[in-house]
Structure 1
Amino acid sequence: MILKTSRGTMSVTTLTLRGLMLAAALLMTLIAGRALAQTYAFNAVQIEGNQRVADSTILSFAGISRGEAISADQLNAAGQKIRDSGLFESVDVQAQGNTLAITVVEFPTINQVAVEGNRKLNDAEFLPILESQSRKIYSPATVERDVATIAGLYASKGRINASVTPRIIRQSDNRVDLVFEVEESGVTEVQRITFVGNRSFTDRRLRGVLETKQAGLLRSIITRDTYSAERINFDKQVLTDFYQSRGYADFTLQNVDVTLTRERDAYLITYNIREGQRFSFGNVSASSDLPEVNVPAYQRALTTRTGMTYSPGQVDRDIARLERLAIQQGLTFVAVEPVITRNDRDLSLNVDYKLVRGPRIFVERIDIEGNSTTLDRVVRNQFRTVEGDPFNPREIRQAADRIRALGFFTTTDVNAREGTTPEQVIIDVNVEEAPTGSLSFGANYNTDNGVGLVAAFKEANFLGRGQSLSFEISTATSNQVISFGFSEPNFLGRDLRAGVDFSYRTTDNQNADYDTENFRFAPSLTFPVSESGRLTTYTALSYDDLTGADGDNVSPFIKEEAALDAVVTGSVGYNYSFDNRRTGLDPTSGYVFRFGQEFGFGDTRFIKTTALAAAETKVLNEGVTLRATIEGGHLAYQDGFSRVTDRFFLNGNTFRGFDANGVGPRDYQTTTVDGETVTTVDDALGGNSFAVARLEAEFPLGLPEEYGITGGAFVDYGSVWDVGRTAPQGTEILYNGFTPRATAGLSIFWTTPLGPLRFNFTEPLKAEKFDQTKAFDVTISTQF
């Protein structure tokens, strides 16, 4: 049948189907509503499948009490709570009349954990840091975190493509062996570091500032050519400090772009920077509205001068000087606020140090955490502030820097928070211990002493007390050395370093016609006398003997000295040093001055004086380093005379281009053999005086800086003279007066993980007939 309506025609069949569908939907809704509205109440519980976990524990996870009316949704939620405990592989919760039926399958117990496929990293680096451990419950979530841990460890070593797959091997008694299968990838190195926006300094110079390096020849040894987010953050700060310390007050590091190559085998790092203009200091003044402040005294204390290159570090040092002066004058809660005004016309910054009344805030206490090895007092000794002192944020930041400079911790965080009252603060120090000791066995070589074997132990934080301990045994072709050193940096709880040094040295006749034996024991005290100055006082006991000088070819001069008994000498002395390379006004230059005297008594009485003055500066956009050094010494005897074991000698580090003991006074004899005159020249005798001037330049060779290879040129001029006594009968002394020598040469500096090496190629400009020269030597590179 067909019905006609205003909207068209409709068949009866169609109406019938629609009616049936509507009725079915209504029926299902009613059934579902009854199901949702259905409640359960249990007076019995049946738990199956659990072996280790008690029934009461499972019920506590479910959170269902006997007789409690719960809905179907609550029943499902109870099952999920049991699953969330992480103890069960599967959970089934059902209502069986008035009985709650819970069926579980427990996760197995881990029998053992192993890592396979790892060749670059050993098991000891993995297993202690994994959450999954033997006799613990196996958990997929825990295993996932362990996979991320292992992959992260590989990533920290530059192997970002390493993959880790966990496998379980079923054992009896519901146990499993957990195996992490590792597929190690190659190292993803830093292939290139570039800079955008740098006009004043080359990419090479800026890369030299960064801790992160490009991959180079030593990529298998150097780890700084792998990407590390922490190292990049450190480099950001270093780069900012580099520019700002050179007057670029508006320097901005806009962003660091780190990208992977398409093959994911190398990183490309780009620093986008805006240098800005270079500023100098304009007018520098001190001012205050406080009646108790003597402004002229503070003005005189300032070290910044008009025209100097602007540096935030110099401003900080002046603030620290003014704050110390205020404390010395008994003024508390006086703060120094630098007011800096710009003069863009002449690119200068005027600085007015305003002494103002600071807030009355005290240090309530200093809390130290994380130092599992280092004692609290070692960290506290780096603070100039103690509990109850006025709070000085600058001093707290400086203390944090001193703690980091110890080298005892991988991370150091120092923060201040409000104490029990608004007028008090608590200083929180959180540290993480770092390895501070080393035990090494190896070999060394230099052209003076030949090949030597070395065994050394060094500990910079002995027993967590901040003390340093070292012990070394070295045997070379021509000498043997045993040395021991110990120092306490905070003797008597003060900024006073107490040390004890012991050494025993012997030499054989590889380089001379005699043997020597020396023992020295020297306790010392070192303390600061200024911001950059240190004074060391010491006393020493030494034993010197000269033997093995009985051969036919031995100099009569040496034979006379060897015939004397061994000499035991007591002495006292001091050494003063001034080094402003870190605290100087100009970050591109610095100088060092050292002066010391030793006063001997005992078998002989003498005064031994030594001095060194050196300066260094960088030119040509800091691409070339110039160094100048003047060094000298004088030995004066009031009782007795010097022997060859006491006098000065010049070696390859002091005067390049000559063999060890290859320059200086020598004795010679003239004899007649078959009517011919024969002259015999013996070993160098050393001298009571020496003076050397060294000039050198270090410059790039155009090689990638990640190779660590630079070039140099040098000129040395000087001499050693005056043996302090007359020659034995039948001999004369050559070069006993000041007889200058001069050498020039080229150097190759190579910074390696084994140490900074220096290769010298030397040509003598002025040498005497019997000097022993050498055209090439290899040394450990030293400065000043």
Structure 2
Amino acid sequence: MTARSRGAFARRISAGASVAAIAAVLAATAPAWAQEFRFDDVSVEGNRRIETGTILTYAGVTRGERVSAAALNDAAQRIRESGLFQSVDLRPEGDRLVIEVTEFPTINRIAFEGNSRVDDAELSQIVSSTERRVYNPVQAQADADAIAAAYVDRGRINATVRPALIERSDNRVDLVYQIAEGGVTEIERISFTGNRSFSDRRLRSVLATRQAGLLRQLLKNDTFVADRIALDRQLLTDFYRSRGYIDFEVLDVDSSLTRERDAYLLTLNIREGQQYSINRVGVASEIEGLDAARFESAVELDRGETYSPTAIENDIARMEKLAIRQGVDFLRVEPRIERNPRDLSLDVTYVLTRGERIFVERIDIEGNATTLDRVVRQQFNTVEGDPFNPRAIRESAERIRALGYFADADVQARPGSRPDSVVIDVDVEEQPTGSLSFGANFSTDNGLGLVAGFSERNFLGRGQLFSLDISTSEKNRRISFDFAEPAFLGRDLRFGIGVDYRSTDNDSALYDTDTFRISPSFTFPVSENGRLQTYYAAEYTDITDVSDDASEIIKAEKEEAGVWTNSVGYNYSYDSRRAGLDQRSGYRLRFGQEFGVGDEAFIKTTALASAETRVWGEDVLLRATVEGGVLHHEDGDTRVTDRFFLGSRLMRGFEPGGIGPRDADSDDALGGNKYAVTRLEAEFPLGLPEDYGISGGLFADYGSVWDIGSDRGTGAEVLYDDYTPRAVVGASIFWDTPIGPLRFNFTEALQAEERDETRNFDLTISSRF
């Protein structure tokens, strides 16, 4: 017999023996399985904490009742499923049934070992096992899995968690979750396929997820979090569609681990489609008796514009608000879009229809342990009893999320108590809104400085702002306090009060200054993007430490000692970028006037206009700014504490006080009653790897400050008191570093006066920790 034959024969013998053994077991157990028992007594042994009656209830075996062996097995299983016992054994002894149990121990203490990235307090919120309750191994393992999932959300996919027991007296145990956190699984590379109009660099700037770079030890959004991918898909979709790509779609997202399993490679496969512009815009009504022409004034979308869902949503919101003012309830605006593939244009028709007659029954808010209900309700333009408008509810949800008070905010509508009503459920998850910071900064204007600050954006849960900042440097000291109530008297009216003290040491002049200002204000919207602020200000200014060699003009101004002024004023601002999207272009306008009242009568006027746009696939940002101001005093006697100075924030390439009117003898900078500056800037990538965080820029500044007004009868010679423009060009390097953002400016003055103080290099850095 060959070896193969012997093997086959052995397998047949073995199989036959197995079948015979199974048959014998079935033959032996079948009568026992069908056997019935009747017990006159049922007793429980081994229980120490669990009442005997509770165990008998789980078993369900009654004295005198006939039960089968299968029923006894089911009784044992019911006791096990209670989760209270480590082992359960039912043992018939004649007419007596003995239920022997071994109880699970009681949890004496829950502890965590090996965790450094997530603290014990946060882990305690994750686990469901509870001290002084019965230990359940199934629940303990579920808790371990939940802890591991929390680490995965932080990009540590290799984290492991194992529940371990330490035995104590009296059947108690310490439950310890032993954690091996592992390393952060970063995003090593994010790439795209299918993108023709925008570079990978530009598209990466849109995403919430970031590639790991030099800041990988500080950033959390360069770790792989699966839930963040859905947000990235939406952000990318919003980006493209706001630029007219109505067919854009993210086909798939491929995430693969590197061979070392310590980083992810993320690839987004997209289809851009074609870019569409607007050809025709109209309004039509399907409501009998409602004239569509009444709503055409609310339409701002115009022919030739690039298609944008945001612009259409804004038009719809304006028409719905107009309908409410005109007493038209339940109006719905449906945008109907027809394509013209030949010229890649769209015809947009806003169709006015009658919506369902549904009312808001109530608004329920949950999850806000600190924030008051009214703070959340203030984000709704809808109140109980108003017609239900789904779009308005979505906008309210966005406003709640934009507050920054909540880590998550979910707003949903559900049926109310009547068929024509709905209940709005708002479920929020609060997050920290305060900060205590200590830090340092450095600038070539003020030197090295130390800063400390406390701020709370949701003070006492009322949605109020409270902040206190203290800073000191080689050349100035400042203390400021700000408080703001964004919904004064429950309206869209912001009340604020600011207190500011500033003391300066002027290296470029032979005098110092002290300034104290307190100013309450009210700010309110006057249009979608426009805001108007009105304020009162009380200000104290003083000129101190005047040197004997100082300008005669400064000495004369010093004779007035400390001066109190009272003023009222306003500031109007318009910002087209309030939509919140990553826009391709935008502009800002600001105009303000301050009027001195009482003993000091003056008018101070300032204005700013700024526009920016992105070109070359939106990789390059261009910005142009024009800014100026005029101070007019009733008697012409302004002081150096009142006049304008051009620091590097307004005009680069010069020392603080380095340009403008100057005393011919002492060389003191005197400031001016007028100034005007034009700034042109460009920011662009330098072709370096993005994880370096380095980009470049070019700029040109052109402007001046002039006119000191009266020389107070001193007869002092003042240089450059007339308009004498200066021009500067330069290059910038921007570097995002672990200690904060750095900006290096290298400048060259193309047009300067002989006594001007120029600067060829400027460095700014700020950091808080």
Query: Which amino acid letter does the alignment assign opposite residue 257 of structure 1?
Result: D
Q: Does 1:422 align with 2:407?
A: no
> Which has the higher mean CA deviation after the structures are superposed, 21-30 or 315-324?
21-30
- Cα distance change, pair 586–70 in 1 and its aligned pair in 2 (3 A): closer
- Displacement of 1:29 in angstroms is 6.5
- Cα distance change, pair 27–435 in 1 and its aligned pair in 2 (3 A): closer
SS in 1 for 2:135: coil
User: Does the CA contact (< 8 Å) of 1:556 and 1:728 recur in 2?
Assistant: no
- Quote the Cα distance in structure 2 between the aligned partners of 1:780 and 1:592: 26
SS in 2 for 1:76: helix
- Displacement of 1:712 in angstroms is 0.4
Q: Which residue of 1 aligns with 2:608?
A: 612
User: Does the CA contact (< 8 Å) of 2:214 and 2:693 recur in 1?
Assistant: no
Q: Does 1:574 align with 2:570?
A: yes
Query: Which amino acid letter does the alignment assign opposite residue 540 of structure 1?
Result: A
Query: Which amino acid letter does the alignment assign opposite residue 700 of structure 2?
Result: V
- Displacement of 1:564 in angstroms is 1.3
Counterpart mapping for 1:556-635 below 5 A: 556-583=552-579, 587-635=583-631
- Quote the Cα distance in structure 1 between the aligned partners of 2:418 and 2:122: 46
Q: Does 1:765 align with 2:767?
A: no
- Quote the Cα distance in structure 2 between the aligned partners of 1:350 and 1:22: 79
User: Does the CA contact (< 8 Å) of 1:478 and 1:508 recur in 2?
Assistant: yes
Query: Which amino acid letter does the alignment assign opposite residue 111 of structure 2?
Result: A
SS in 1 for 2:640: coil
Q: Which residue of 2 aligns with 1:175?
A: 172
- Displacement of 1:727 in angstroms is 6.1
Counterpart mapping for 1:467-478 below 5 A: 467-478=464-475
Query: Which amino acid letter does the alignment assign opposite residue 571 of structure 2?
Result: N
Query: Which amino acid letter does the alignment assign opposite residue 519 of structure 1?
Result: F
- Cα distance change, pair 277–98 in 1 and its aligned pair in 2 (3 A): same
- Quote the Cα distance in structure 2 between the aligned partners of 1:170 and 1:280: 73
Q: Does 1:329 align with 2:314?
A: no
User: Does the CA contact (< 8 Å) of 1:667 and 1:727 recur in 2?
Assistant: no
Q: Does 1:259 align with 2:243?
A: no
- Displacement of 1:277 in angstroms is 0.7
- Cα distance change, pair 273–212 in 1 and its aligned pair in 2 (3 A): same
- Cα distance change, pair 509–342 in 1 and its aligned pair in 2 (3 A): closer
- Cα distance change, pair 325–752 in 1 and its aligned pair in 2 (3 A): farther
- Displacement of 1:197 in angstroms is 1.0
Q: Does 1:189 align with 2:174?
A: no
Alignment: residue pair count: 749
- Quote the Cα distance in structure 1 between the aligned partners of 2:661 and 2:443: 24
Query: Which amino acid letter does the alignment assign opposite residue 263 of structure 2?
Result: A
- Counting aligned pairs with the same residue, the percent is 59
Alignment gaps of 5+ in structure 1? 1-20, 670-680
- Cα distance change, pair 25–203 in 1 and its aligned pair in 2 (3 A): closer
- Displacement of 1:33 in angstroms is 4.3
- Quote the Cα distance in structure 2 between the aligned partners of 1:45 and 1:585: 73
- Quote the Cα distance in structure 2 between the aligned partners of 1:28 and 1:506: 98
Q: Which residue of 1 aligns with 2:39?
A: 42
Detail structure 1 runs of 4+ shifted over 6 Å in the superposition. 21-30
User: Does the CA contact (< 8 Å) of 1:604 and 1:639 recur in 2?
Assistant: no
SS in 2 for 1:684: coil
User: Does the CA contact (< 8 Å) of 2:611 and 2:624 recur in 1?
Assistant: yes
- Displacement of 1:223 in angstroms is 1.4
Q: Which residue of 2 aligns with 1:340?
A: 337
- Displacement of 1:512 in angstroms is 3.5
- Displacement of 1:137 in angstroms is 2.5
Equivalent in 282, 285, 295 of residue 298 of structure 1? 295
- Quote the Cα distance in structure 1 between the aligned partners of 2:587 and 2:580: 8
Q: Which residue of 2 aligns with 1:6?
A: none
Q: Which residue of 1 aligns with 2:539?
A: 542
Query: Which amino acid letter does the alignment assign opposite residue 571 of structure 1?
Result: S
- Cα distance change, pair 155–32 in 1 and its aligned pair in 2 (3 A): closer
Q: Which residue of 2 aligns with 1:381?
A: 378
SS in 2 for 1:239: helix
Query: Which amino acid letter does the alignment assign opposite residue 344 of structure 2?
Result: L
Counterpart mapping for 1:354-503 below 5 A: 354-503=351-500
- Cα distance change, pair 723–175 in 1 and its aligned pair in 2 (3 A): same
SS in 2 for 1:305: coil
Q: Which residue of 2 aligns with 1:726?
A: 711
Q: Which residue of 2 aligns with 1:657?
A: 653
- RMSD over aligned Cα, in angstroms? 2.2
With structure 2 as the length reference, what TM-score do the two structures score? 0.94
Query: Which amino acid letter does the alignment assign opposite residue 731 of structure 1?
Result: A
- Cα distance change, pair 610–32 in 1 and its aligned pair in 2 (3 A): same
Query: Which amino acid letter does the alignment assign opposite residue 719 of structure 1?
Result: S
SS in 2 for 1:338: strand
Q: Which residue of 2 aligns with 1:246?
A: 243
User: Does the CA contact (< 8 Å) of 2:364 and 2:423 recur in 1?
Assistant: yes
Equivalent in 70, 73, 80 of residue 70 of structure 2? 73
- Cα distance change, pair 606–466 in 1 and its aligned pair in 2 (3 A): same
- Displacement of 1:667 in angstroms is 0.6
User: Does the CA contact (< 8 Å) of 1:569 and 1:603 recur in 2?
Assistant: yes
Q: Does 1:209 align with 2:194?
A: no
Query: Which amino acid letter does the alignment assign opposite residue 727 of structure 2?
Result: A
- Quote the Cα distance in structure 2 between the aligned partners of 1:585 and 1:130: 39
Residue by residue, what CA displacement relative to the aligned partner does 1:556-597 show, whole Å, maximum 9, x if unpaired?
A: 221211221211111111000000024499931111000000
Counterpart mapping for 1:107-146 below 5 A: 107-146=104-143
User: Does the CA contact (< 8 Å) of 1:604 and 1:640 recur in 2?
Assistant: no
User: Does the CA contact (< 8 Å) of 1:314 and 1:585 recur in 2?
Assistant: no
> Which has the higher mean CA deviation after the structures are superposed, 115-124 or 210-219?
115-124
Equivalent in 214, 228, 232 of residue 229 of structure 2? 232
- Displacement of 1:719 in angstroms is 0.5
Query: Which amino acid letter does the alignment assign opposite residue 753 of structure 2?
Result: E
SS in 2 for 1:731: coil
- Cα distance change, pair 580–749 in 1 and its aligned pair in 2 (3 A): same
Q: Which residue of 1 aligns with 2:13?
A: none
- Quote the Cα distance in structure 2 between the aligned partners of 1:578 and 1:22: 89
Equivalent in 280, 286, 304 of residue 307 of structure 1? 304
User: Does the CA contact (< 8 Å) of 2:747 and 2:760 recur in 1?
Assistant: yes
- Displacement of 1:38 in angstroms is 2.4
Q: Does 1:100 align with 2:85?
A: no
- Cα distance change, pair 25–324 in 1 and its aligned pair in 2 (3 A): closer
Residue by residue, what CA displacement relative to the aligned partner does 1:618-658 show, whole Å, maximum 9, x if unpaired?
A: 11111111000000001101146211111111111110111
Q: Which residue of 1 aligns with 2:523?
A: 526
Residue by residue, what CA displacement relative to the aligned partner does 1:172-224 show, whole Å, maximum 9, x if unpaired?
A: 22222233333332221101111111111111111111111111111111111
Q: Does 1:776 align with 2:761?
A: yes
Q: Which residue of 1 aligns with 2:15?
A: none
SS in 2 for 1:581: helix
Query: Which amino acid letter does the alignment assign opposite residue 293 of structure 2?
Result: P
- Quote the Cα distance in structure 2 between the aligned partners of 1:24 and 1:142: 39
SS in 1 for 2:53: helix
- Displacement of 1:470 in angstroms is 0.8
- Displacement of 1:604 in angstroms is 1.0
- Quote the Cα distance in structure 1 between the aligned partners of 2:560 and 2:406: 53
- Cα distance change, pair 118–29 in 1 and its aligned pair in 2 (3 A): closer
Q: Which residue of 2 aligns with 1:4?
A: none
- Quote the Cα distance in structure 2 between the aligned partners of 1:27 and 1:88: 34
- Displacement of 1:504 in angstroms is 1.3
Residue by residue, what CA displacement relative to the aligned partner does 1:653-678 show, whole Å, maximum 9, x if unpaired?
A: 11011111221111122xxxxxxxxx
- Quote the Cα distance in structure 2 between the aligned partners of 1:82 and 1:115: 31
SS in 1 for 2:657: coil
Alignment gaps of 5+ in structure 2? 1-17
SS in 1 for 2:376: helix
User: Which structure is richer in relative contact order (CA contacts within 8 A, separation 6 or more)?
Assistant: 2
Residue by residue, what CA displacement relative to the aligned partner does 1:716-774 show, whole Å, maximum 9, x if unpaired?
A: 00001111112654631011111111111001123456654322111111111111111
With structure 1 as the length reference, what TM-score do the two structures score? 0.92
Query: Which amino acid letter does the alignment assign opposite residue 480 of structure 2?
Result: S
Query: Which amino acid letter does the alignment assign opposite residue 637 of structure 1?
Result: H
Q: Does 1:737 align with 2:726?
A: no
- Quote the Cα distance in structure 2 between the aligned partners of 1:50 and 1:516: 83
